[in-house]
Amino acid sequence: MGQNKNYIQGIRSKVGHDKIILTFAGGCVFNDKGEVLLQRRGDTNLWGFPGGAVELGETQRRIKK
């Protein structure tokens, strides 16, 4: 998330308070017991749903099964 924050700060330094569009995705993942998956955020150390954003220039990484 640290990189994402720097990316957004960079955009803000160029556009000020003008509206910008950022694309994020998140999700709720449950198991058979009804438990929900949470992740601890790196920037605030709080728990939240998994998700994130793709930044300009970021590449896709494929995970082998």
> Cβ(20)–Cβ(11) under 8 Å?
yes
The set of residues, in sequence order, having a beta carbon less than 8 Å from that of 54 and lying 6+ positions away, is 23
Q: What is the pLDDT along the chain (65 residues), one digit of tens a residue?
A: 445 567 788 888 999 999 888 778 888 999 999 999 999 988 889 999 998 877 777 777 777 76
> Cβ(18)–Cβ(31) under 8 Å?
no
pTM: 0.51
Element (H, E) at 46: none
DSSP string, 8-41: HHHHHHHHTTS-----EEE---B-TTS-B--EE-
DSSP, collapsed to helix, strand or coil, labels residue 11 as helix
